[in-house]
Structure 1
Amino acid sequence: MTEGQDIFSPVELPCGRKLQNRMVKVALYEHSAALLGGPPNDVHFGMYSRWGAGGWGMVITGNMQVSNQHLGLGRDVTLPKTLDEVSLRPYRKLASCMHGDDPQSRPLAIVQLCHTGRQSGNIIGGRPANVPPLAPSAVPLELKPRNAGSKAPLMSVITSKLMFTPPRAMTIQEIDNAVDEFVKGAQMAARAGFDGVQIHAAHGYLVAQFMSQRSNIRTDEYGKDRLLFLRRIVTAIRAPGVVPKDFALGIKMNAADYVDTSSGPVANEDRALEHFRTIATWGLLDFIEVSGGDYDSPDFMAETKVSRRQAVFEGFSSRAMQYLTIDKIQRRPLILLTGGLRTPELLKSALAKNHTDLLGLGRTAVVRPDLPKRLAENPDVWPEPIFPLFDAPAHKLPLRFFLEDKLALLASVLWDLIPPSYRPAAPGLVGAGAETARHDIMLQALARNAEKLCYPGSDFAAMVRFWLYTAPGGSKSRVGLWITVLALILCAIALFKM
């Protein structure tokens, strides 16, 4: 079997579910639900129908919040309050869209379950401003500027203080409740027709907070064993009668969560691998996603200057598979590698060098939703994006999108008038960056099957468009739009008074 064929070779998870090939559309931040959370809607159905028909081996949703009081940026999909048939309808429809219409190329449909913990903002996180988020310990969130070593401007510091309240340490009962919320998410997924769930244990969210020595300073059993919270979740989902025996269960880990500036890259890598090996030996998981770096060269350990995060990712990724072989784990989880797989050569290399079992693609899947199908037709040619990214739209847009485009253009012009030294630099919070905003706009175009993508050129204009999003249908969407507009006006007033 050649390297090119390996990409399209089927593979079986330990639970018995099979993937038709090694290519996985991984989770993306979607920002597409109603304000303060809600079920999947037409935007989700539109985008996942494209991926469901794209020939992927597995498709993973964006993070679905298990707690409606701990949202990310306010427009996350949340679990239904009850698991009755009426409440499950939109989730069933999402599962159907992910599976596609062709039984011969049906991908596995996986729900990513998440709890943001201390990374849940005030108000848009689903709580009043005076109610703190829950976390393992009362350790405040440290928001840093994107450029390492630079000092965050005053406006950014003020914005961060207003957005995030220091968390409150969880009681044992609250930890039990959080475990139950993840179990409920798995039960919802099973009843709605999904093939499995992925626990989000990365990006500094609640599970990762329990795993971190910086955010978990508890003195009880959850501090002594920082993997206990995750193990309780996994064990509870695997308990008899909770979900079917062939229900897939995975987790997502991120190299960036193990980067500590006070430690060297080897110490950081060893800490990540220690967690990885322990989790793998539980024999309860079907796959572990490893992300957080850039697989930009077939030679992982090339002698080039790389960031701490990249160094940890490289060593972690290459050694993880070796440990699974050495430890001779009977129920070995598959490794899903995500990060920088941008060419057919890199896809083939990652498999050929035994660095991974599965190939994860995120933002690439937005501009190339049918990538697996197109690569199957010509394995050596990386297809062009479906969107000429900076072209003006050739089709007629709804009035709402037309107005958004004009407002974004105006915002871009006004932003460019501000001297660069006076512009506030946004903190490096996952999900809030301009690059994420741009890809979120691509998701909207993907959902409405646009022929061309209309999105603004400047970062600020992209952020405006991001925050002006309203979910389809109903008065709740219009109320959400006006709340967003009001927030933008208040931010603008504060900005120009600085």
Structure 2
Amino acid sequence: MSNPLDLPCGLRLPNRITKAAMSEALAGSDNAPNEQLAHLYRRWGKGGYGLLITGNVAVDRTQLGEPGNVVIEDDRDHDALASWSKAAHDGGTPIFVQLNHPGRQANPLNLGHTPVAPSAVALAMPGAATPRELTDTEIEDIVDRFARAATVCEAAGFDGVQIHAAHGYLVTQFLSPLANLRTDKWGGDPERRRRFLLEIVRRTRKAVSPGFAVSVKLNSADFQKGGFTEAESRDVVAALVNEGVDLIEISGGNYESPAMSGSAAASTRAREAYFLEYAASVKGIAGHVPIAVTGGFRTHAGMDSAVRSGECDLVGIARPSATNPEAAADIFADEDAELKTHEISYGLRPLLGRVADLKQLDGLLNISWNTDQLHRLSRGQEPDLKRGPIKTTLTMVRRNGRFTFGKRRGL
């Protein structure tokens, strides 16, 4: 794990542990990076990681997954973005910006806002609005937005971008036969459903310099009956390799079926790396393109074995880094090291289970709990491991609620 890794674009990662993306929700009302983000990444930059990947950065300020998303539409925030990238580089760590569009997973508490998606299929979650189907012109505009945002990131000193094609966001919606019911050039069969992602990668790769990394976060599957399958995912990997990507990170699930969160079954967590078997199955397809796996890694032994065996090239750490920003350094320092995570769940389960999907609720609760920890770290505070579900829920509603009733341009 301590060996460096050279990406196809020429960028050298100093080791094989990545701080995977977690949405920070730290931007202000102007959706610009700020000193809190810089402070957080300065701390992670000194945490021993070989690569840092930011949380959701939106390419359209009228379509946000949550309040506090950084938005990159043009170079208006160049100086703030440059400070963000420098904060990571101060610790000697490369940094990628995760570019994203929420599609139908736009903030559910933003009442009155109609999200957009490949088709008018609502998210199967309480309170989800039915999205409006995107026109061909709008789809082309979104593709261009990803490419434009990548050029801004390169100018601001970042080392690469990651296109978010996992966890149920817009790119995943195009890939999914459950969410994409189109019959035009953007849907109708697996080849056309992956066109949106491939066009984003193609135009992004063309827009940036050869030494700037273009990577993709991809679901192994969405774990829903009739949904995006491992077989389709393998075909997407093969297509991405042909488009010249520099890194593919494997994850899985979405907010309807949250395999990527702490709500995974105990038997799944016991395997430590949730998606490693799938990753090993695409290594031959990926060829010279490195494969990263995020989800479940907790021990030095598990991470080292995954890399040494060749099942993956990098391991991603997400939730442990929310409470331990030096998680990677701790793993390298001790062969017996095991990272700790904290999981909480709602009470009154028999009653609550009658009206809601407990797996979904607990998944969202744990995501919010970790976001709260990131906010503490960004203010120079230490994590609050005793934070319970009630306080976490109130913070989640308050964080989203300030966005709910505010006026935003373009809505």
The one-letter amino acid of 2:335's match is D
The one-letter amino acid of 1:453's match is D
Q: Does 1:39 align with 2:6?
A: no
The one-letter amino acid of 1:53's match is K
1:276 alignment counterpart: 237
Which is helix-richer, 1 or 2? 1
Distance 2:306 2:221 in 1: 20
In structure 2, the CA distance between the partners of 1:322 and 1:29, relative to structure 1 (3 Å rule), is: same
* Contact 1:29–1:62 under 8 Å retained in 2: yes
Provide the secondary structure at the position in 2 that maps to 1:199: strand
Which of 337, 348, 351 aligns to 1:382? It is 337
1:440 alignment counterpart: 371
* Contact 2:273–2:294 under 8 Å retained in 1: no
Pairing of 1:14-163 with structure 2 (within 5 A): 14-35=8-29, 38-79=31-72, 81-84=73-76, 87-101=77-91, 106-121=92-107, 124=110, 129=112, 131-143=113-125, 160-161=126-127
1:248 alignment counterpart: 213
Pairing of 1:56-455 with structure 2 (within 5 A): 56-79=49-72, 81-84=73-76, 87-101=77-91, 106-121=92-107, 124=110, 129=112, 131-143=113-125, 160-161=126-127, 164-223=128-187, 224=189, 225-239=192-206, 242-257=207-222, 259-262=223-226, 268-280=229-241, 282-292=242-252, 313-324=275-286, 329=287, 332-376=288-332, 378-382=333-337, 421=351, 425=356, 433-451=364-382, 453=384, 455=386
* Contact 2:104–2:169 under 8 Å retained in 1: yes
In structure 2, the CA distance between the partners of 1:57 and 1:313, relative to structure 1 (3 Å rule), is: closer
Unmatched 5+ stretches in structure 1 = 1-6, 144-159, 295-303, 391-411, 471-478, 485-498
Flag the structure with larger Rg.
1
In structure 2, the CA distance between the partners of 1:262 and 1:243, relative to structure 1 (3 Å rule), is: closer
Instruction: Return the offset for 1:268.
Output: 3.1
* Contact 1:33–1:40 under 8 Å retained in 2: yes
* Contact 1:19–1:58 under 8 Å retained in 2: yes
| RMSD (Å) for aligned C-alpha atoms | 3.3
Instruction: Return the offset for 1:55.
Output: 2.0
* Contact 2:21–2:318 under 8 Å retained in 1: yes
Instruction: Return the offset for 1:214.
Output: 1.0
In structure 2, the CA distance between the partners of 1:252 and 1:170, relative to structure 1 (3 Å rule), is: same
Distance 2:163 2:362 in 1: 18
Distance 1:96 1:117 in 2: 31
Distance 1:305 1:316 in 2: 17
In structure 2, the CA distance between the partners of 1:21 and 1:312, relative to structure 1 (3 Å rule), is: closer
In structure 2, the CA distance between the partners of 1:11 and 1:431, relative to structure 1 (3 Å rule), is: farther
Instruction: Return the offset for 1:38.
Output: 0.5
* Contact 1:65–1:115 under 8 Å retained in 2: yes
Instruction: Return the offset for 1:16.
Output: 0.3
Distance 2:267 2:42 in 1: 41
Distance 2:373 2:66 in 1: 18
- The Cα offsets for residues 324-370 of structure 1, whole Å up to 9 and x where unpaired, read as 3xxxx5xx211011111100000111012211001110011222212
- The Cα offsets for residues 290-320 of structure 1, whole Å up to 9 and x where unpaired, read as 01368xxxxxxxxx9769xx99935422201
- Using the aligned pairs only, state the percent identity: 31
1:400 alignment counterpart: none
The one-letter amino acid of 1:465's match is T
Instruction: Return the offset for 1:245.
Output: 1.3
Distance 2:159 2:296 in 1: 27
The one-letter amino acid of 2:69's match is D
Provide the secondary structure at the position in 2 that maps to 1:336: strand
In structure 2, the CA distance between the partners of 1:454 and 1:337, relative to structure 1 (3 Å rule), is: closer
Instruction: Return the offset for 1:108.
Output: 1.1
Distance 2:362 2:22 in 1: 9
May I ask how many residue pairs the two structures share in their alignment? 389
* Contact 2:173–2:179 under 8 Å retained in 1: yes
The one-letter amino acid of 1:44's match is L
Unmatched 5+ stretches in structure 2 = 253-258, 261-265, 407-411
